[in-house]
Chains A and B, each alone.
Chain A
Amino acid sequence: MGAVGLAGIVGLALALVPAFAGSFAVDFVTRIMITAIFAASLDLLVGATGLVCFGQAAFFGIGAYAAVLLTPSDGTAAVLWMLPACMACAAGYALAIGALALRTRGAYFIMITLAFAQMAYYIAHDTALGGGTDGIYLPARPTLGFGLDLGRAAILHGFVLVNLAVVFGFLALLLRSRFGRALAGIRENEQRMRAAGFSTYPYKLAAFAVSGAIAGLAGFLFAIKDGFVNPELLAWHESGAILVIVILGGLGTLRGALMGAVAFALLREFFQSETVFGTFARHWNLGFGLAIIACVALLPRGLAGVPAQWRVRAAARPTRRGAVR
């Protein structure tokens, strides 16, 4: 069947959703696609390069806030310039954080990314720029051109789908390119990469900037979908959640980003459902937290790794009486 064929089928299925489903379902699927783009951006850092970033929500939030703040109060903006501008804002912050954070390693890197993301949160939360705790409404949706109105759910859905396809296509090419292979080498054994002659800092910084840009794109799409942004988008709980999604789906695989987004959305609907849990549904984070703990303990390679795990277990059975490698 091949990966491209599978992607085509999934893409087609997603494209047909507005034709067959009600408005709630369309909104749900659009949201999942935006989350998948967000997850893919983090996967580039964590899965592909081995950099555990706990501040991805900052780039998402900056992309979203940029969309709102760059819209002129009297007229409308054009997607043509606004989309790259929002990505550039997010990428800029990523470059600034990356330049400082990438000079450390391991746990210190994680701590610094968390701290700088929190700085962005405070800027949104406390300063006049951010509009405070209440957040800001998007004055008007940007125009797409060709007479397409992003205010209509089906059009927006299609637009997000196109972005998803472009991002995933780009990342697929990037990961198998020289740059992507170098990132993989850095993840596997940075010492060997340096000994061979790769200056690893510029590679990691570039990955950081690209990741920030893609997360900013997801934020931009979110802003034009919901028409409203607030500081909680940059809260570190969001950074934690997207990290969980990436792990849940499976590190280092693009389809894992999509699977993780789907699984997370379904899990959250389930845990938040009052019909199942009654008033206890308010405390859905408890179930979520326990699920994360269980996942780390039982599923070391995420959902995408489950088939491989089953295969390994099946192959190991007949040889159990003989020597196992």
Chain B
Amino acid sequence: MSDADVWMRARDITHRWGGLVAVDRVSIALERGGVHALIGTNGAGKSTLVNILSGELVPTEGRVELLARDVSGWPQPRRARAGIGRSYQRSTIFARFTVFENCRLAAQAAEQRPWNWWRDARRCEASAAAARAALARTGLDDVLDRSAGLLSHGQKRQLELAMCLATGPKVLLLDEPLAGTGPEETDRMLGLLAELRQDHAILLVEHDMDAVFRIADRITVMVNGAVLASGTPLAVRQDPAVQAAYLGGH
């Protein structure tokens, strides 16, 4: 694994809430060309870790590096502009805007120019083009003018991912994108992730074990805030500690 391909790295991240240790000396590396899955039971610290990577939470200890730069002190918007795209477990779409405007506004973050108060935002070519591209990639180009609140659940998850892609990020932090999606939509999403992995470094937090083992190139298992095992899917599946603690009779 060449260092140049490690696009995001967390070193010895520890986070304490008062007396409780939510994340316990976790290190993780995301390389371009791979889907790195993060699995674990509820309360294992996965969401906390993702929030630390995205910049929403400042860890008690540890370092976060993005594209070889130390971004530990950077707030979330700054990290996002530097190349992180984040999707949430509960969709953070703009329900009252159209699907197109959702993506266009997200894309606007890459080229904000807020002082230009007289020009209509919809005339902005750059954000419109980025939005159209992201929506085409996620298969939503037939519902551009629909109000986002009226989409089906699966379509909302697709839109969430499209908004993630609209800013042209290099690293994707995806928090349960398959939550609540049916088998068809899951297939479509996994196909999309397979396509995206070529030029992105992807962290995938998921509970759907079948999907994880289909798509992941590396898996990290977290229990009680610490890393229990980390490696290729085969190695993780065969790890006796993992089988005992998490996979059960899998």
- With both chains docked as a complex, state the minimum distance between the C-beta of A199 and any C-beta of chain B, in angstroms: 4
In the complex, are the beta carbons of B92 and A197 less than 8 A apart?
A: no
Nearest to B80 among chain A residues (CB) is A197
Q: Would you call B246 an interface residue if the criterion is a C-beta within 8 Å of the partner chain's C-beta atoms? A: no
In the complex, are the beta carbons of B94 and A197 less than 8 A apart?
A: no
In the complex, are the beta carbons of A189 and B76 less than 8 A apart?
A: no
Q: Would you call A192 an interface residue if the criterion is a C-beta within 8 Å of the partner chain's C-beta atoms? A: yes
CB-defined contacts of B76 to chain A, threshold 8 Å: 194-195
Chain B interface size band reads 35 or more
In the complex, are the beta carbons of A178 and B106 less than 8 A apart?
A: no
In the complex, are the beta carbons of A199 and B77 less than 8 A apart?
A: yes
In the complex, are the beta carbons of A198 and B109 less than 8 A apart?
A: yes
- With both chains docked as a complex, state the minimum distance between the C-beta of A194 and any C-beta of chain B, in angstroms: 5
Q: Which of B29-37, B63-71, B111-119, B232-240 contacts A (4 or more CB under 8 A)?
A: B111-119
Q: How far is the CA of A174 from the CA of B117 in the complex (A)?
A: 5
In the complex, are the beta carbons of B92 and A176 less than 8 A apart?
A: no
- With both chains docked as a complex, state the minimum distance between the C-beta of B41 and any C-beta of chain A, in angstroms: 25
In the complex, are the beta carbons of B105 and A181 less than 8 A apart?
A: yes
| A178-B109 contact given A188-B95, A188-B97, A192-B92, CB 8 Å threshold | no
| A178-B112 contact given A194-B77, A195-B76, A195-B86, CB 8 Å threshold | yes
CB-defined contacts of A198 to chain B, threshold 8 Å: 77, 109, 112
| A185-B105 contact given A174-B117, A178-B112, A192-B163, CB 8 Å threshold | yes
In the complex, are the beta carbons of A189 and B92 less than 8 A apart?
A: yes
| A173-B118 contact given A181-B105, A196-B166, A198-B77, CB 8 Å threshold | yes
| A178-B167 contact given A192-B93, A192-B94, CB 8 Å threshold | no
In the complex, are the beta carbons of B92 and A195 less than 8 A apart?
A: yes
Which residues of chain B (83-108) have a CB below 8 Å from chain A?
A: 85-86, 88, 92-97, 101, 105-106, 108
Which of B54, B86, B121 neighbours the largest number of chain A CB atoms within 10 Å of its CB? B121
Dominant secondary structure at the A interface = helix
Interface string of A159-181 (1 = CB under 8 A from B): 00000000000100110111111
- With both chains docked as a complex, state the minimum distance between the C-beta of A206 and any C-beta of chain B, in angstroms: 7
Nearest to A173 among chain B residues (CB) is B118
CB-defined contacts of A189 to chain B, threshold 8 Å: 92-94
Q: How far is the CA of A193 from the CA of B110 in the complex (A)?
A: 11
In the complex, are the beta carbons of B113 and A178 less than 8 A apart?
A: yes
In the complex, are the beta carbons of A197 and B167 less than 8 A apart?
A: yes
Q: Would you call B78 an interface residue if the criterion is a C-beta within 8 Å of the partner chain's C-beta atoms? A: yes
Q: Would you call A33 an interface residue if the criterion is a C-beta within 8 Å of the partner chain's C-beta atoms? A: no
- Number of residues of chain A lying within 8 A (CB) of chain B: 26
In the complex, are the beta carbons of A194 and B80 less than 8 A apart?
A: yes
Q: How far is the CA of A185 from the CA of B232 in the complex (A)?
A: 40
In the complex, are the beta carbons of B88 and A177 less than 8 A apart?
A: no
Q: Would you call B75 an interface residue if the criterion is a C-beta within 8 Å of the partner chain's C-beta atoms? A: yes
Q: How far is the CA of A192 from the CA of B101 in the complex (A)?
A: 13
Q: How far is the CA of A184 from the CA of B112 in the complex (A)?
A: 14
Nearest to B83 among chain A residues (CB) is A197
Which residues of chain B (39-83) have a CB below 8 Å from chain A?
A: 54, 56, 75-78, 80-81
Interchain Cβ contacts under 8 Å between A and B, 20 examples:
A176-B121, A177-B116, A177-B117, A178-B113, A178-B124, A181-B105, A181-B108, A182-B112, A185-B105, A192-B93, A192-B94, A192-B163, A194-B77, A194-B80, A195-B54, A195-B85, A195-B86, A196-B80, A196-B109, A197-B78
Closest 6 CB pairs of A and B: A197-B109, A197-B80, A192-B92, A197-B81, A196-B109, A179-B114
Residues of B within 8 A of A (CB): 54, 56, 75-78, 80-81, 85-86, 88, 92-97, 101, 105-106, 108-110, 112-122, 124, 163-164, 166-167
**Contacts A182-B105, A195-B164 supplied; 18 other A-B pairs, CB < 8 Å:** A177-B121, A178-B108, A178-B121, A179-B117, A180-B121, A181-B108, A182-B114, A184-B97, A185-B94, A191-B92, A193-B105, A194-B80, A195-B54, A195-B85, A196-B163, A197-B81, A197-B110, A200-B77
